[in-house]
Structure 1
Amino acid sequence: MKRWLKAAVGACALLMTTVSGHAAERFVFVGHWPESDSFFNVIRNSAQLAADQVGVKIEFRNPTGGDLSEMGRLIDQAAASKPDAIISTVPDENLVTDPLTNAVASGIPVVLVNSGSADFAKKIGALRYIGQAEYDAGKAAGEQAKAANVKSFLCVNHFYQHPVSHLRCKGFADGLGIAVGDQEIDSGTDPNDVVNRSAAFLKAHPDTQAILTLGPTSADPMIKWVKDQGAGDKYFFATFDLSKDIVAAMKDGTVKVAIDQQPFLQGYDAVVILANYIRYGVIQANDISSGPGLITKQNIDQVLALAGKYR
């Protein structure tokens, strides 16, 4: 019995050594958000969680202040450092096509997350795309607003230079059955600019019934402004993504709906997909649609505890 037990323990030890015996691969994640963007925290946290669990080293690189013109350079630098894999967002195809294509051509596995598309991933030779259909997400929120008899809105676009942002506004307008027209504004990212430019539009268009923000950068200051104006019941407030302020505003009824693209899946799954591909040569057959999912006051308690960290 002792001899059998000793042999069994030895076999288990060998199995554990085999499973955990991989040298820690190094992945580089190039995202278009500034470090201060609370939405990026969720993706970064989930990617780091996966990296810790599967034994991967991961580095995060971001353009200074969210300057998208730096994306190409950051991808080139990441590729030049010869990582085992690259995870990247696609804020503007014109800026990242050549750097990502070159990275793939050099033999570096690439997964695209958050922004971009399955078609673009196929075009440059990336393994997979993980994200949501932005137009469909905006339209789903617009249909919710239409059900509340909304006929006009303000789209507060804090990343106006990002082509995909306009799909969100267009989808919302189509969900309402109206044209976007001048209802989409470039709010900038500074909280004061977001509020001042939005307030100026609303003053010039006093019949505006809904406010759509495209993420916490614009949502958080606009939530505070709406509350300061005592206008919580005046507007159908819809937003993309989640933050602690957004969750609190959903609890008190200021925000009526949030579009959740489940960024946790974008960071976490990208790391796991790449680790499995590099180590075992396996990969699932399809891209991953991480969203959209609609969060309302009725289901907000499910995500309340994790908002800003993993949701």
Structure 2
Amino acid sequence: MERKQSRRPLGRRLSRRALTAVSLLAVTAAAVTGCASGKASSGDGGQSTAPAGDGSNSGTKSNGKNSIYVIGGKSDDPFWSTVKRGVEDATKLVKAGGGKVTYLGPQNYDNLGPDVAKLTQTAISQNPSAILVPDWVPENQDSAIKAAVAKGIQVFIYNSGGIDAAKRVGAVKYIGSDDYEAGKAGGAKFAEAGAKKVLCVNTVPGSANQEARCKGIKDGAESKGANSKQLPLPSSNFGNPSAVTQAIKGALLKDTSIDAVVTIGVGDADSAAAAIKQAGVGDKVKLGTFDLSQSQLDRIKAGNQLFAIDQQPYLQGFYVVSIANQYLSYGVLPPQNPILTGPLLVTEDNVDAAISGTKAGVR
């Protein structure tokens, strides 16, 4: 979404092997300083926990053992499974110090803002050292996030909200992509490829990062002489391929001037590809999406999709947990704010490298 998905292009992402090596080196260093290690376990209800030795945690630390709560998207959301992979790899560092990481996610996205606010309150009730949370719907979430800060809990905003959200709620850092800038890059790419009217399909309307993506698409397209409009769909359609396909197909048949479609996530992009085919406009309508999956990469390689915008979700999960842990343990903190993980535009020119990263489970 992801958040939070994407900002300025970064260099090539570290391979899974390289990142694992970094993790293991850090774990080894922690062990040498006398930190105890724990064993990870998984719970039910969308939670995964790496438990630590003892007791509750109040304030920012408890006997040097950090308790970190990560709030994210649905566990069966492909994007968030990649974020969680980064969280799980970084959890090794937390466990080495005797700490724990707990992941909380909503059951669905139908009532996203209030549901995530409740998850934040749940995390606060456990007196953790830190809460790491996307700021998807500020009007619903900000009061809960500010309550965590007021209680002395260190808060990191990641994936969605950006530096403005981090400053507004008093968080330590923002880690993730800049959704508006990512959208601008995509809108400009469409226009450069000859598109004149771009349809931005939003299946989570009202979500700050998705609205920013569609606004970026519009501004990027207009900067190159094209234009864009948004197709907001009920959030209940998210994860319902048939409903999304039919909605996009209907929009294409109703407005034949649309010559490009962009979606806020990979599942919707598959639905858009089906809609374009069913509407019989594959020779005219270009497709793009935010985030990556194997089907997007296959279409790009085959010349059936123009681009995918990668906000590098693995890095979001890995960075936010490891940076929070280092800050809690040692007061170590990178000076950059925000810490950006994207955007990186994947096109036919660099799709082979992206395919390799997807096979490794980190893209």
| TM value normalised by structure 1 | 0.88
Amino acid at match of 1:109: Q
Q: 2:316 corresponds to which letter in structure 1?
A: Q
Q: Where does residue 28 of structure 1 map in the other structure?
A: 69
> How far off its partner does 1:166 sit?
2.0
Shift of 1:297: 1.3
Tell me how far apart the structure 1 counterparts of residues 357 and 286 of structure 2 sit (CA, whole Å).
Answer: 25
- Corresponding residue for residue 170 of structure 1: 215
Which residue type is aligned with residue 302 of structure 1?
A
Q: Which residue of structure 2 lines up, in the alignment, with residue 8 of structure 1?
A: none
Q: How far apart are residue 58 of structure 1 and its match?
A: 1.8
Three-state SS of the structure 2 residue aligned to 1:238 is: strand
Considering fraction of residues, name the structure with more helix.
1
Residue of structure 2 equivalent to 1:306? 357
Match of 1:259 in 2: 309
Residue among 126, 130, 133 paired with 2:178: 133
1:111-130 superposed matches below 5 A: 111-130=156-175
- Go from structure 1 to structure 2 and tell me whether the alpha carbon gap of 1:191 and 1:162 turns closer, same or farther (over 3 Å shift): same
**1:13-92, aligned counterparts within 5 Å?**
16-21=31-36, 25-31=66-72, 33-55=73-95, 56-66=99-109, 67-68=111-112, 69-92=114-137
Partner residue of 1:155 out of 182, 191, 200 = 200
Give SS of 2:33's match: helix
The answer to whether the Cα contact below 8 Å between 1:223 and 1:249 also exists between their aligned partners in 2 is: no
Q: Distance in 2 between matches of 1:196 and 1:240?
A: 20
In 1: Cα distance, 2:336 partner to 2:196 partner? 38
The one-letter code of the counterpart of 1:304 is: I
1:185 aligns with 2:237: no
| Stretches of structure 2 lacking an aligned partner (at least 5 in a row) | 1-27, 38-51, 53-64
Judge which range, 293-302 or 187-196, deviates more. 187-196
- In 1, Cα distance between equivalents of 2:31 and 2:212: 48
Identify the residue that residue 291 of structure 2 maps to in structure 1: 241
Q: CA deviation at 1:25?
A: 2.8
Change (3 A) 1:15 1:89: closer
Q: What CA distance in whole angstroms lies between the structure 2 residues aligned with 1:155 and 1:108?
A: 37
Aligned residues: 297
Whole-angstrom CA distance in 1 between matches of 2:163 and 2:314:
19
Residues 235/274 of structure 1: CA separation in 2 closer, same or farther (3 Å cut): same
Shift of 1:14: 11
Check conservation: 1:223, 1:246, Cα contact below 8 A. no
Per-residue deviation, 1:57: 2.4
How far is the alpha carbon of 1:207 from its aligned partner? 2.4
Find the structure with the greater CA-based Rg: 1
Q: Which amino acid aligns with 1:60?
A: Y
The answer to whether structure 1 residue 294 and structure 2 residue 348 are counterparts is no
With 85-94 and 153-162 compared, the bigger mean Cα shift is at: 153-162
Q: Which amino acid aligns with 1:242?
A: L
The alpha carbon displacement at 1:133 in A equals: 1.8
Separation of aligned partners in 1, 2:253 and 2:144 = 44
Q: Supply the AA of the counterpart residue of 2:80.
A: F
- The CA distance in 1 between the partners of 2:29 and 2:154, in whole Å, is 30
> Is the Cα contact below 8 Å between 1:83 and 1:108 reproduced in 2?
yes
Partners of 1:59 and 1:286 in 2: CA distance? 26
Going from structure 1 to structure 2, the CA distance change for 1:15 and 1:300 (only over 3 Å counts) comes to closer
Q: Is the 8 A contact 2:132 2:155 kept in 1?
A: yes
Deviation at 1:200, TM superposition (A): 0.5
TM-score (normalised: structure 2): 0.76
The counterpart of 1:96, out of the listed 132, 136, 141, is: 141
Tell me, in whole angstroms, the C-alpha distance in 1 between the residues paired with 2:108 and 2:145: 22
Provide the aligned C-alpha RMSD in A: 2.2
Q: Distance in 2 between matches of 1:306 and 1:230?
A: 33
Give the secondary-structure state (helix, strand or coil) at the position aligned to 1:291. coil
Please identify, of 58-67 and 140-149, the stretch whose mean Cα deviation from structure 2 is larger.
58-67
Contact 1:154 / 1:185 at 8 angstroms: preserved in 2?
no
Give the ranges of 4+ consecutive aligned residues of structure 1 lying more than 6 Å apart after TM superposition: none
Indicate the SS of the match to 2:334: coil
Relative to structure 1, the CA distance from residue 15 to residue 173 in structure 2 (aligned partners, 3 Å threshold; closer, same or farther) is closer
CA offsets 1:214-261 (integer angstroms, 9 cap, x no match): 111311222244356665443211110011211121121111111111
Q: CA deviation at 1:307?
A: 2.2
